Amino acid sequence: MIVHAQTDIGLLISAGNRQHYSNSQGFKSALAPSLAVSISKNGKLNNQWTFRYGLVAGVLGYKLNVIMIDTLGANGDISPFPEYSTFFGSAEFLLGRKFSVFKRDILIGGGVGVTTYISATPTSLYGVEVLLPNNNLVSLFEARMNSPATRLTMLWKVALYYKLNSRISASIEYIHHNDPAAEGTYIFYHTAKPLSGQINVYQQEFRIGIFYTLGSAQAH
């Protein structure tokens, strides 16, 4: 078998990490775009099948959009809490089939991998308060997030790579992890009914990337 290998370095923009709440009342869905870098090796099995393997490292971004539902504050106000203190590193492998569209190569495939997390701020605290007419400060909302929730987790991915020219490629990928990367608890005070629960953040994101190919193909 003849294998042709090339090395790609890439920059990835990702968004879509999902927050799961015990009760979604009081929260609005939110995007928190983040960045990652990639270095991967491309191997050509034959004229149709290609494999990629490599490393990805970046920031796991997420945001809590808290809607005020208390009886003291202004109902409907949104307080955003972006979080960018968790970092990840992944080893990924993908097998794909190559097609030619408008004389350009397209690679479509799927793969698996493993991810590890580390956090610069293992515990993050969030809160919303209101100042009453008597100058007393009253807490309306509190949350506590812990990261990482998982040290090591498996992933699966699907991806499309489009070769713009001999050196530059673009991609769109979907990455899915079953285990949470961060978890925590929340409570709303002064609501019509007591409202508290758990938050789990999963790295389930779309990535758009641009890649530059180093050197030329080599046969082994």
Confidence of residue 2 (pLDDT cuts 50, 70, 90): very low
Token digits for 132? 């009453």
Is residue 220, in this structure, part of any structural domain at all?
no
Which CATH number covers residue 103?
2.40.160.20
Confidence of residue 219 (pLDDT cuts 50, 70, 90): very low
Residue 60 has a pLDDT of: 94
Is residue 190, in this structure, part of any structural domain at all?
yes
Is residue 168, in this structure, part of any structural domain at all?
yes
Confidence of residue 95 (pLDDT cuts 50, 70, 90): very high
Could you tell me the pTM of the whole model? Answer: 0.87
**pLDDT higher for 119 or 72?**
119
Residue 73 has a pLDDT of: 61
Is residue 200, in this structure, part of any structural domain at all?
yes
User: Given the structure tokens 């699966």, which residue do they identify?
Assistant: 156
Query: Which domain, by its residues, includes 69?
Result: 4-215
Distances (CA, A) of 141 to 46, 65, 106, 215: 58, 12, 49, 54
Is residue 142, in this structure, part of any structural domain at all?
yes
**How many domains is the chain built from?**
1
Is residue 147, in this structure, part of any structural domain at all?
yes
- Close Cβ partners of 116 (under 8 Å, ≥ 6 residues apart): 88, 89, 90, 151, 152, 153
Q: What is the pLDDT of residues 8-34, one digit of tens each?
A: 999 999 988 888 998 888 898 888 899
